[in-house]
Protein backbone atom coordinates (compact mmCIF):
# COMPACT_ATOMS: atom_id res chain seq x y z
CA UNK A 1 0.00 0.00 0.00
CA UNK A 2 2.92 2.33 0.64
CA UNK A 3 3.70 2.45 -3.09
CA UNK A 4 0.38 4.18 -3.75
CA UNK A 5 0.96 6.90 -1.19
CA UNK A 6 4.31 7.55 -2.80
CA UNK A 7 3.08 7.76 -6.38
CA UNK A 8 -0.32 9.47 -6.00
CA UNK A 9 -1.08 12.90 -4.62
CA UNK A 10 -3.43 13.26 -1.64
CA UNK A 11 -6.17 14.47 -3.93
CA UNK A 12 -5.74 11.53 -6.31
CA UNK A 13 -5.79 9.09 -3.41
CA UNK A 14 -8.97 10.58 -2.00
CA UNK A 15 -10.61 10.44 -5.42
CA UNK A 16 -9.57 6.82 -5.80
CA UNK A 17 -11.00 5.97 -2.37
CA UNK A 18 -14.25 7.70 -3.19
CA UNK A 19 -14.65 5.72 -6.44
CA UNK A 20 -13.55 2.51 -4.77
CA UNK A 21 -16.11 2.99 -2.02
CA UNK A 22 -18.84 3.41 -4.63
CA UNK A 23 -17.78 0.59 -7.01
CA UNK A 24 -16.06 -2.11 -4.94
CA UNK A 25 -17.14 -1.88 -1.30
CA UNK A 26 -20.80 -2.85 -1.98
CA UNK A 27 -19.54 -6.29 -3.10
CA UNK A 28 -17.75 -7.04 0.16
CA UNK A 29 -20.46 -9.40 1.48
CA UNK A 30 -20.51 -11.43 -1.73
CA UNK A 31 -16.71 -11.66 -1.76
CA UNK A 32 -16.63 -12.76 1.87
CA UNK A 33 -19.28 -15.39 1.19
CA UNK A 34 -17.30 -16.74 -1.76
CA UNK A 35 -14.06 -16.78 0.27
CA UNK A 36 -15.76 -18.55 3.15
CA UNK A 37 -17.15 -21.27 0.90
CA UNK A 38 -13.88 -21.70 -1.01
CA UNK A 39 -11.71 -22.02 2.09
CA UNK A 40 -14.24 -23.50 4.51
CA UNK A 41 -12.52 -21.53 7.28
CA UNK A 42 -13.45 -18.14 8.75
CA UNK A 43 -9.90 -17.04 9.50
CA UNK A 44 -8.71 -17.93 6.01
CA UNK A 45 -11.73 -16.17 4.52
CA UNK A 46 -10.92 -13.04 6.57
CA UNK A 47 -7.34 -13.01 5.30
CA UNK A 48 -8.36 -13.69 1.73
CA UNK A 49 -10.96 -10.92 1.60
CA UNK A 50 -8.67 -8.43 3.26
CA UNK A 51 -5.88 -9.23 0.82
CA UNK A 52 -8.30 -9.02 -2.11
CA UNK A 53 -9.56 -5.56 -1.18
CA UNK A 54 -6.10 -4.18 -0.47
CA UNK A 55 -4.90 -5.47 -3.84
CA UNK A 56 -8.02 -4.15 -5.56
CA UNK A 57 -7.48 -0.70 -4.12
CA UNK A 58 -3.82 -0.70 -5.06
CA UNK A 59 -4.61 -1.64 -8.65
CA UNK A 60 -7.91 0.19 -8.95
CA UNK A 61 -6.53 2.24 -11.85
CA UNK A 62 -6.48 -1.03 -13.84
CA UNK A 63 -10.23 -1.50 -13.40
CA UNK A 64 -12.09 -0.36 -16.52
CA UNK A 65 -14.97 1.86 -15.50
CA UNK A 66 -18.34 0.67 -16.76
CA UNK A 67 -17.32 -2.99 -16.67
CA UNK A 68 -18.38 -5.51 -14.04
CA UNK A 69 -16.56 -4.59 -10.82
CA UNK A 70 -17.88 -7.62 -8.99
CA UNK A 71 -16.40 -9.91 -11.63
CA UNK A 72 -13.08 -8.04 -11.42
CA UNK A 73 -13.00 -8.49 -7.62
CA UNK A 74 -13.87 -12.17 -7.90
CA UNK A 75 -10.96 -12.69 -10.29
CA UNK A 76 -8.56 -11.02 -7.85
CA UNK A 77 -9.86 -13.18 -5.02
CA UNK A 78 -9.64 -16.35 -7.07
CA UNK A 79 -6.04 -15.57 -8.10
CA UNK A 80 -5.11 -14.79 -4.50
CA UNK A 81 -6.66 -18.07 -3.45
CA UNK A 82 -4.70 -19.99 -6.08
CA UNK A 83 -1.38 -18.20 -5.52
CA UNK A 84 -1.35 -17.73 -1.78
CA UNK A 85 -3.93 -19.72 0.13
CA UNK A 86 -3.81 -22.99 -1.80
CA UNK A 87 -0.03 -23.30 -1.50
CA UNK A 88 -0.13 -23.25 2.28
CA UNK A 89 -3.34 -25.10 3.02
CA UNK A 90 -3.76 -28.81 3.35
CA UNK A 91 -6.11 -30.13 0.72
CA UNK A 92 -9.00 -32.11 2.19
CA UNK A 93 -9.94 -35.50 0.77
CA UNK A 94 -11.57 -34.97 -2.59
CA UNK A 95 -14.61 -36.60 -4.09
CA UNK A 96 -13.95 -38.70 -7.17
CA UNK A 97 -16.46 -38.29 -9.99
CA UNK A 98 -16.07 -41.92 -11.07
CA UNK A 99 -17.33 -42.93 -7.64
CA UNK A 100 -20.29 -40.64 -8.13
CA UNK A 101 -21.13 -42.22 -11.48
CA UNK A 102 -20.93 -45.60 -9.84
CA UNK A 103 -23.44 -44.45 -7.23
CA UNK A 104 -25.88 -43.22 -9.84
CA UNK A 105 -25.67 -46.24 -12.04
CA UNK A 106 -26.57 -48.40 -9.07
CA UNK A 107 -29.66 -46.46 -8.06
CA UNK A 108 -32.70 -48.26 -9.39
CA UNK A 109 -35.37 -46.32 -11.19
CA UNK A 110 -37.95 -47.44 -8.65
CA UNK A 111 -36.05 -45.62 -5.92
CA UNK A 112 -36.65 -42.27 -7.57
CA UNK A 113 -39.98 -41.90 -5.85
CA UNK A 114 -38.23 -41.73 -2.48
CA UNK A 115 -36.34 -38.63 -3.59
CA UNK A 116 -38.52 -36.26 -1.56
CA UNK A 117 -37.38 -38.12 1.52
CA UNK A 118 -33.75 -37.41 0.75
CA UNK A 119 -34.45 -33.72 0.34
CA UNK A 120 -35.97 -33.76 3.82
CA UNK A 121 -32.90 -35.58 5.08
CA UNK A 122 -30.61 -32.90 3.70
CA UNK A 123 -32.72 -30.27 5.38
CA UNK A 124 -31.69 -31.84 8.71
CA UNK A 125 -27.99 -31.56 7.96
CA UNK A 126 -26.08 -28.77 9.68
CA UNK A 127 -24.57 -25.92 7.71
CA UNK A 128 -21.17 -27.22 8.84
CA UNK A 129 -21.87 -30.60 7.22
CA UNK A 130 -22.82 -28.98 3.94
CA UNK A 131 -19.84 -26.63 4.12
CA UNK A 132 -17.50 -29.56 4.72
CA UNK A 133 -18.93 -31.46 1.76
CA UNK A 134 -18.49 -28.37 -0.36
CA UNK A 135 -14.81 -27.99 0.55
CA UNK A 136 -14.27 -31.64 -0.37
CA UNK A 137 -15.22 -30.98 -3.97
CA UNK A 138 -12.30 -30.53 -6.36
CA UNK A 139 -11.51 -26.82 -6.55
CA UNK A 140 -12.59 -26.28 -10.19
CA UNK A 141 -15.98 -27.79 -9.44
CA UNK A 142 -16.34 -25.99 -6.11
CA UNK A 143 -15.69 -22.63 -7.75
CA UNK A 144 -18.39 -23.12 -10.35
CA UNK A 145 -21.06 -24.41 -7.97
CA UNK A 146 -20.43 -21.56 -5.48
CA UNK A 147 -20.60 -18.94 -8.21
CA UNK A 148 -23.81 -20.43 -9.60
CA UNK A 149 -25.82 -21.69 -6.66
CA UNK A 150 -24.68 -19.35 -3.89
CA UNK A 151 -23.72 -16.18 -5.72
CA UNK A 152 -26.34 -16.55 -8.45
CA UNK A 153 -24.15 -15.81 -11.48
CA UNK A 154 -25.20 -16.88 -14.99
CA UNK A 155 -23.17 -19.34 -17.07
CA UNK A 156 -21.87 -16.44 -19.18
CA UNK A 157 -20.69 -14.55 -16.10
CA UNK A 158 -19.01 -17.62 -14.61
CA UNK A 159 -17.36 -18.30 -17.96
CA UNK A 160 -15.93 -14.78 -17.89
CA UNK A 161 -14.77 -14.94 -14.26
CA UNK A 162 -13.09 -18.31 -14.46
CA UNK A 163 -11.99 -17.97 -18.07
CA UNK A 164 -13.44 -21.25 -19.31
CA UNK A 165 -15.99 -21.95 -22.09
CA UNK A 166 -19.70 -21.92 -21.19
CA UNK A 167 -19.88 -25.63 -22.05
CA UNK A 168 -17.26 -26.35 -19.40
CA UNK A 169 -19.19 -24.29 -16.85
CA UNK A 170 -22.29 -26.36 -17.59
CA UNK A 171 -20.44 -29.66 -17.42
CA UNK A 172 -18.63 -28.81 -14.16
CA UNK A 173 -21.80 -27.56 -12.56
CA UNK A 174 -23.69 -30.71 -13.52
CA UNK A 175 -20.96 -32.90 -12.06
CA UNK A 176 -20.37 -30.74 -8.99
CA UNK A 177 -24.01 -31.02 -7.94
CA UNK A 178 -23.95 -34.78 -8.34
CA UNK A 179 -20.73 -35.09 -6.35
CA UNK A 180 -22.13 -32.90 -3.60
CA UNK A 181 -25.37 -34.85 -3.58
CA UNK A 182 -23.53 -38.13 -3.06
CA UNK A 183 -21.42 -36.64 -0.25
CA UNK A 184 -24.48 -35.27 1.51
CA UNK A 185 -26.33 -38.53 1.00
CA UNK A 186 -23.54 -40.33 2.86
CA UNK A 187 -23.49 -37.73 5.65
CA UNK A 188 -27.25 -38.00 6.00
CA UNK A 189 -27.03 -41.76 6.07
CA UNK A 190 -24.28 -41.70 8.74
CA UNK A 191 -26.49 -39.47 10.88
CA UNK A 192 -29.50 -41.70 10.44
CA UNK A 193 -31.51 -39.30 8.31
CA UNK A 194 -31.58 -41.74 5.37
CA UNK A 195 -32.69 -45.30 5.91
CA UNK A 196 -31.96 -46.70 2.48
CA UNK A 197 -29.23 -49.32 2.36
CA UNK A 198 -27.54 -47.76 -0.66
CA UNK A 199 -24.31 -45.90 0.00
CA UNK A 200 -21.74 -44.47 -2.37
CA UNK A 201 -18.94 -45.68 -0.09
CA UNK A 202 -20.19 -49.24 -0.11
CA UNK A 203 -20.86 -49.21 -3.81
CA UNK A 204 -17.27 -48.31 -4.56
CA UNK A 205 -15.93 -51.43 -2.98
Partner 1 sequence: MDLLEEITCYVDGELKDENNCCRIQQLIADDCMMRNEYLVQKCIKDLLGKRFSSSQIPSGLREKILLHISSNSNN
Over the window 47 to 86, marking each residue x when it contacts partner 1 by CB under 8 A and - when it does not, the resulting string is --xx--xx--x-----------------------------
Angstrom distances, CA of residue 154 to CA of 79, 159, 166, 170: 20, 9, 10, 10
With CB under 8 A as the contact rule, the residue among 71, 181, 196, 203 that binds partner 1 is: 181
The verdict on 1 binding partner 1 (CB under 8 A) reads yes
With CB under 8 A as the contact rule, the residue among 136, 155, 196, 199 that binds partner 1 is: 155
- Maximum Cα–Cα distance across the chain: 71
Closest separation in Å from C-beta 101 to partner 1: 11
The answer to whether the beta carbons of residues 191 and 109 sit under 8 Å apart is: no
Count how many Cα atoms sit within 13 Å of the Cα of residue 203 in the half-sphere of its side chain. 17
Instruction: Give the list of residues 6+ apart from residue 133 with CB closer than 8 angstroms, or none.
Output: 180, 183, 184, 187
Q: What span, in angstroms and rounded, lies between the C-alpha atoms of 134 and 137?
A: 6
The verdict on 173 binding partner 1 (CB under 8 A) reads yes
The verdict on 152 binding partner 1 (CB under 8 A) reads yes
**Closest Cα to residue 14, out of 29, 4, 3?**
4
Q: Which residues bind partner 1 (CB under 8 A)?
A: 1-2, 4-5, 10, 13-14, 16-17, 20, 25, 28-29, 31-33, 36-37, 46, 49-50, 53-54, 57, 107, 109-110, 112, 115, 118-119, 122-123, 127, 130-131, 134, 145-146, 148-152, 154-155, 167, 170-171, 173-174, 177-178, 180-181, 184
Amino acid sequence: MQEITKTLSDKELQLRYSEFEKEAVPHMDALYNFALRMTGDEDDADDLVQETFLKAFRFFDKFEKGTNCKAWLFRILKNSFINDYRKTSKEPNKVDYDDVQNFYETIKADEVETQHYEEDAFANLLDDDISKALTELPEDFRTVIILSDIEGFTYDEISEFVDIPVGTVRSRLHRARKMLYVQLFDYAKDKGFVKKSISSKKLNK
